[in-house]
């Protein structure tokens, strides 16, 4: 007999919130039926209106907090309620760290079906505000006025953002200056519904010592009044070192296109993670929180447990940031990445840091790693930092087939981390310890570094 759903769309219910979901929403139960309530916190009793009902859960809108959590705080951002950039400003920073650790614990136990793995307290940021060195905001029109900012929660409605509390101040300056320039010079802005207009996104990067880069993303090859825009930016953005145009003509949600023009200044700005220096271009991948990136990489280096004699493979190496950290203590490091421009950046980063024991290879890890094996290159340690989707089982089998002593798994998604740890457990590798790191304070995201050891070495 089909079980009747106990909640109805449009009606209000009192709900006690028990935990946080992976997107930072409160999760509670009404008549033993799961209800997700954004902006509600664990331990709170709330009144919520049901907006959506599915077979196994419902989503509600917070109407009133009847009993508040002691961890509830007043968000400092005036547009927090409408903006989709942050999810946890209403939760104290200590509370954020507690629940981010719990997110990792729950994923490992419920998704991975694993037990006995120590999940350490989250390494929090010394500065949980004003930390993002990169901003990429869409540009649009609303009631005849130019708006630049984050998208609203769950939509492509642009929320005009003048003082983002997680962006470095230099990026906020760039946004506000560009808004005035677009209005003053009547620059046509992009309309994603009609695929018309010119200016799509404003990208800002703030490097070491506050050096700034502005990238104007356009839907057309020509940028009207480019010289005037550049002149006004130079006059009004402190420490500006680079102005560039990126061309993205396709009708999709990809922010940056393949072609970039230097309008003024230098093609790169410098930044640093720990002791290593990097040249950041308009399209470079680079961690947006450099202080916490250093914390993450130092933990990966610790888990690699290098004495100076080891050969290490860094799969999914990107622009080589983790690879170069590992090279400081390894005998030899091989970075593998399928994206050719990223490998070119990695090679340059190695040269700039005078690191000679790192080699970078373009290609698929599942093809290149067996080739290294055939060349009698056996890794003592494999480090992997995959995208949010995690690793395929084929990739994990390739890792295990090379029989490294240790695997260091850096993850930005607890769910896929847990899934992959379960697969690696069947392949002979036991997760010994997980260290979560808070790379993105005020948001629901959490990174984690896991140390795995081959079973016959335990």
List, as residue ranges, the binding site for S-adenosyl-L-methionine.
287, 316, 337, 385
DSSP for 52-89, please give it.
EE-SSEEEEEEEEEEE--TTB---S-TTTTTBSS-S-T
Residue 418: CA count within 13 A, CB half-sphere: 18
DSSP single-letter state for residue 275: T
Closest CA to 448 of 126, 97, 129, 168: 97
40: Cα within 13 Å, side-chain hemisphere: 32
Structure tokens at 443: 């948001």
Annotated binding site: 287, 316, 337, 385
Of 77, 83, 373, 412, the active-site residue reads: 412
How far is the C-alpha of 165 from the C-alpha of 100, rounded, in Å? 20
- Contact of 348 with 324, CB cutoff 8 Å: no
Provide φ and ψ at 164, rounded to 5°. Answer: -65, 125
Q: Which helix (H) or strand (E) holds 417?
A: helix 414-426
Dihedral over Cα of 31, 34, 39, 43: its sign: positive
**Under a CB-based contact definition with an 8 Å cutoff, are residues 242 and 268 in contact?**
yes
Lateral strand order in the sheet of 447-454: 118-119, 429-437, 447-454, 406-411, 381-384, 311-315, 332-337, 358-362
- Give yes or no: 412 in active site: yes
C-alpha closest to that of 18 among 7, 9, 29, 8: 29
- Angstrom CA distances, 73 to 88, 96, 184, stand at 10, 11, 39
The phi-psi region of residue 376 (left if phi > 0; otherwise alpha if psi is between -120 and 50; otherwise beta) is left
**Helix, coil or strand: residue 28:** strand
3-state secondary structure of 395: helix
Residue with tokens 């995208």: 387
Active site residues: 412
């Amino acid at each position: 007999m089909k079980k009747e759903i106990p909640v109805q769309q449009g009606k209000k219910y009192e709900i006690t919130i028990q935990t946080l979901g992976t997107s930072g929403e409160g999760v509670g139960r009404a008549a033993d039926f799961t209800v997700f309530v954004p902006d509600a916190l664990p331990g709170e009793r709330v009144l919520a209106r049901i907006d959506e009902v599915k077979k196994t859960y419902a989503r509600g809108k917070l109407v009133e907090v009847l009993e508040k959590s002691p961890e509830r705080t007043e968000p400092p951002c005036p547009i927090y309620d409408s903006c989709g950039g942050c999810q946890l400003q209403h939760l104290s920073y200590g509370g954020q760290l507690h629940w981010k650790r719990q997110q990792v614990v729950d994923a490992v136990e419920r998704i991975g079906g694993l037990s006995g793995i120590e999940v350490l307290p989250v390494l929090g940021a010394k500065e949980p505000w004003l930390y993002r060195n990169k901003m990429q905001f869409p540009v649009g029109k609303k009631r005849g006025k130019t708006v630049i900012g984050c998208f609203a929660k769950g939509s492509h409605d642009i929320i005009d953002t003048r003082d983002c509390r997680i962006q470095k101040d230099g990026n906020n300056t760039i946004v506000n200056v560009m808004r005035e320039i677009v209005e003053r010079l009547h620059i046509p802005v992009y309309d994603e519904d009609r695929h018309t207009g010119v200016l799509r996104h404003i990208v800002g990067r703030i490097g070491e010592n506050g050096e700034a880069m502005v990238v104007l993303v356009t839907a057309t090859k020509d940028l009207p009044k480019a010289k005037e825009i550049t002149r006004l930016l130079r006059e009004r953005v402190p420490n500006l070192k680079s102005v560039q145009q990126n061309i993205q003509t396709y009708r999709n949600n990809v922010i940056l296109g393949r072609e970039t023009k230097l309008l003024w200044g230098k093609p790169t700005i410098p930044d640093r993670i720990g002791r290593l220096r990097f040249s950041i271009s308009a399209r470079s991948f680079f961690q947006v929180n450099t202080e916490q990136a250093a914390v993450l990489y130092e933990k990966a280096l610790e888990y690699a447990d290098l004495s100076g004699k080891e050969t290490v493979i860094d799969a999914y190496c990107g622009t080589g940031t983790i690879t170069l950290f590992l090279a400081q203590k390894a005998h030899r490091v091989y970075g593998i990445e399928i994206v050719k421009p990223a490998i070119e950046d990695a090679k340059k980063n190695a040269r700039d840091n005078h690191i000679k024991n790192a080699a970078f290879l373009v290609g698929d890890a599942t093809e290149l790693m067996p080739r290294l094996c055939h060349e009698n290159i056996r890794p003592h340690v494999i480090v992997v930092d995959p995208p949010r989707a995690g690793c395929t089982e084929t990739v994990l089998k390739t890792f295990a087939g090379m029989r490294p002593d240790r695997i260091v798994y850096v993850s930005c998604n607890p769910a896929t981390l847990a899934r992959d740890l379960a697969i690696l457990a069947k392949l002979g590798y036991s997760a010994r310890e997980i260290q979560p790191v808070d790379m993105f304070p005020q948001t629901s995201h959490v990174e984690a570094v896991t140390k795995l050891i081959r079973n016959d070495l335990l």
